[in-house]
Structure 1
């Protein structure tokens, strides 16, 4: 076994050990619960835009994008646009790597890989900041409900010509809405790629943490994921990602399309 293979074997053992460490998982969950009231996830930026994610999930998404090398990322939920900028920057890196390998010059005004962002309410100051960002040429913004049949049809039409698609769901967190998003956009995920459903952690948090929200334990993205998987065996939860991260807003939310 060469040194690289030995290192990967060690990492696999580390992750498996973390997954079975009950005390460590409980401690990680306790830390997440205590950090949430302080809006910990609001404190981070990607290339100048608030990303509103835990650093662990940002790193996990980086690993997935580098592994999958998608040419299209679809995201529901835009907020300040940091996640869109993150995805666009990762796709830019992939395009530059491809160009270097092929001995070509990349035209930044005509990018190969694209990001589609959907939100029912794209606020004017956020749209302006996203459209003024250096990554803007890769991003297509769509305003409207992600479960509106016309919006769904529009997004499906925009996937034509793309070979590898990754989907991220992070808008309205009710069971009904997320399940409808899964039915609408998970089929666009190409085999080997992922549909990542954020904020599944809601199911595992105290109910009193969501006093002014329509979602909570029993009605959230994780309940939608488990419902969806009952009739969609082409997707499986990648538990290794959960075991690796320990602290994540998306436990059981990293869904890989295996067929």
Structure 2
């Protein structure tokens, strides 16, 4: 075994060990519970735009994007646009790396890879900031309900022009809405790619953390994921991601399409 393979095996053993450590798993859930009371996820930006995400999950998404090498990332939920900018920048890096391997240059005005964001309410100030961002040429936005027939039709038409699709679901967090999003968009996930469902951690948090929201324990993205997987064996939860992150908004939410 060469040194690269030896290190890879060591990392895999580390992750397996983390997954077996029940005390550490429980401690991580307590930590997430307590920092969430302080809106911890609101504290981070990507290239100037608020991302409303845990840094650990951003790192996991970077690894997934590099491994999958999608030419289209579909995201439900836009908010301030930080996640769209993050995904666009990762796709830009992919194109730069691919071009460097070929000894070519990239024309940023003609991106081959794009991000499609969907939100029921794209506020004017957020839209203006996203459209003024240096990554804007890689970003397309649709305003409307992610589960309306009209929007789903638009998304499917765009996805049909791409060969490798990655899905991120992060809008309304009720069971009913997320399950409808999964039914609509998970089938667009390319084999070997991922459908990532964010904020599954709601299931593991106290009910009193969501007094002004229509979701909570028993009614959230994680319950939708488990319901969806009952009839969709082509997807599996990538537990290795959960185990290595420990601190994540998406436990059981990293769904890999195996076939």
Sort the TM-score into its range (normalised by shorter chain).
Answer: over 0.9
Within 1, Cα distance between the matches of 2:36 and 2:7? 34
**Map of 1:113-152 to 2, 5 A cutoff?**
113-152=113-152
**Map of 1:1-259 to 2, 5 A cutoff?**
1-259=1-259
Q: Which runs of 5+ in 2 are unaligned?
A: none
* Superposition deviation, residue 38 in structure 1: 0.5
* Superposition deviation, residue 100 in structure 1: 1.2
* Superposition deviation, residue 161 in structure 1: 2.5
Calculate the TM-score normalised by the size of structure 2.
0.99
Calculate the TM-score normalised by the size of structure 1.
0.99
Q: Which runs of 5+ in 1 are unaligned?
A: none
* Superposition deviation, residue 162 in structure 1: 0.9
* Superposition deviation, residue 160 in structure 1: 2.0
CA offsets, 1:34-84, max 9 Å, x none?
Answer: 100111110000000000100110000000000100000000000000000
User: C-alpha root-mean-square deviation of aligned residues, in Å?
Assistant: 0.5
CA offsets, 1:3-40, max 9 Å, x none?
Answer: 11010000000000000101111111111001001111
Within 2, Cα distance between the matches of 1:113 and 1:76? 18
Runs of 4+ with >3 A deviation? none
